[in-house]
Structure 1
């Protein structure tokens, strides 16, 4: 096992979860974040709580789940997040089909191309202030329906403030490319189901979708949350029996520029905040996954809304010129009362 562990500070080490390589970032208080090389997916986030530790991450439990990636737990989503309508889009006048020859409901292109890729460790460091791993992949290369090349770098940093993801996409091709980033984490704040937890999403606008979870065309996709009080979480609300698979935009930032979506257990006062600097937030109460129904809430910071490749209003945001790089930062803070 390779370890970087300064005395009295943070640690960064390599390890295994079954047969799958992982990296562990930690500190002397007992916080531990474990990240699988397969898909660069976070699998554990243990924090001190009471007389022990509590895992706020509802991630993959073992090496088989890491490989199967059911539920896309903590998936790194690039070069697109969410779904692409009918797996088709048009970019710079060229029509693209990500699943040629596939018919009907099997046309389900979603969450990008790197969930099943093994990332490389470009850096693994720790000192008295933080622990950090930099993971890279060059798996996003010209393929059917996506004739572009993107180098992807994912950095995880653990410090006193919490966990930060810094994701960078560089266009290494010779033409402009559509791309944007999303993260698909599932969080828990107690061992109970989600109904008793409080959720706060600082979004002024709800993204309205059809039954296929693709946003409605044009302005019909955007609805003020004032008009949909059952889905208005601007103030903390107990989730109750509400079923959420819902995106929010026009997000309000705090004084430090961070947009915080909060999840809290009122019984204990234990909570967390998922922050981002821009983009949209998608919430999901895990009602349709194969494991742990309503035992966690997915809080998904995304650079753009799902199906952005087909949204004219997103054209500038997703466009990356040859040689250009774009970054997206988000992270997790623990908030206990």
Structure 2
């Protein structure tokens, strides 16, 4: 039987903590599994399943939500037009997670420890732009590096943001007992449909996760800004009581992050929690706010990098 997520690309590498193994899917170029020495460091799901809750997928040309699946485009001539996207979050009336969630990527290059996949965003209702995109996954003894490239292949300036949707864990440790730390200084307030209505400093609030908080004490599906970078990268993490951790790092392109404590993840028993830490180059509804949004001229290319570093020894 063919996998619902298409072809499966297996990567392997030796590390001090044992062999690292990663599976990348053809559909949405997603991370289906990542383990080190037999310990899962991302939430895995079986090859027979469709991608649960956006697990590990690429988010292009926007991450998160576009309110009411509608935004206004001012073109190079100054003309303004309403752009109506497909409603892909029907319960809330929004468009969510970009345009490649159900796109099969093409294989560009593959080695034992790396794979490069590509996909095209074609002009369509609500997004009249042409983009060539690629993602390269490279597995090393230090971790998994993810490099994105987006090129405007069309004749009009194109709005672009990039994100990803990995769920992190430390196999064998209840995720509720892990400590979540986010290097972010602001929090986005949302309405009942999860659309942004404000941005506020986290200092002195329940959303200040710079020193970490136990996952079991959190209820999050929240965006954060003001991500702090040191030495050219930000680090967000999950840490076990024994000191082992999994770090999601991101380059300076990623000024935003979403944290999601998911208590109905399809592959987990009821009540157990999965945690997504989602690096984003722009926050929710950036097509409307323009916050963090990149406008690529014809032929211009945007490159970003993020990765996952298991620190298990």
- Taking structure 2 as the reference length, the TM-score comes to 0.89
The residue number in structure 1 matching 2:239 is 264
Greater share of residues in helix: 1
Q: What's the C-alpha RMSD, in Å, of the aligned pairs?
A: 2.2
The residue number in structure 2 matching 1:90 is 72
- Of 191, 196, 200, 1:223 maps to 200
Q: Secondary structure at the match of 1:71?
A: helix
- Return the alpha-carbon distance in structure 2 between the equivalents of residues 19 and 333 of structure 1: 25
CA drift at 1:195 = 2.3
- Return the alpha-carbon distance in structure 2 between the equivalents of residues 259 and 294 of structure 1: 28
Q: 1:251 to 1:106 in 2, by over 3 A?
A: closer
- Of 52, 57, 60, 1:70 maps to 52
Residue ranges of structure 2 left out of the alignment (5+ in a row)? 75-79
Residue ranges of structure 1 left out of the alignment (5+ in a row)? 1-15
- Return the alpha-carbon distance in structure 2 between the equivalents of residues 192 and 271 of structure 1: 11
The residue number in structure 2 matching 1:166 is 147
- For the 8 Å contact 2:40–2:171, the answer to whether it is kept is no
Structure with the greater alpha carbon radius of gyration: 1
Q: Secondary structure at the match of 1:285?
A: strand
Matched, 1:113 2:99: yes
> What is the CA deviation profile of residues 232-277 of structure 1, one whole-angstrom value per residue up to 9, with x for unaligned ones?
11112223332011111111122x32100010111x3221100111
Aligned residue-pair number: 300
Q: 1:294 to 1:285 in 2, by over 3 A?
A: farther
CA drift at 1:309 = 0.3
- Return the alpha-carbon distance in structure 2 between the equivalents of residues 30 and 103 of structure 1: 39
> What is the CA deviation profile of residues 141-192 of structure 1, one whole-angstrom value per residue up to 9, with x for unaligned ones?
0111111111110000111221111001111010011121110011111445
The residue number in structure 2 matching 1:300 is 278
CA drift at 1:19 = 8.4
- Of 136, 140, 157, 2:138 maps to 157
CA drift at 1:290 = 4.2
- Return the alpha-carbon distance in structure 2 between the equivalents of residues 310 and 201 of structure 1: 26
Q: Secondary structure at the match of 1:297?
A: strand
- Of 205, 218, 233, 1:242 maps to 218
The residue number in structure 2 matching 1:179 is 160
> What is the CA deviation profile of residues 63-103 of structure 1, one whole-angstrom value per residue up to 9, with x for unaligned ones?
332xxx33011111111111110000012122100138x99
The residue number in structure 1 matching 2:288 is 310
- Return the alpha-carbon distance in structure 2 between the equivalents of residues 192 and 313 of structure 1: 37
- Return the alpha-carbon distance in structure 2 between the equivalents of residues 136 and 58 of structure 1: 24
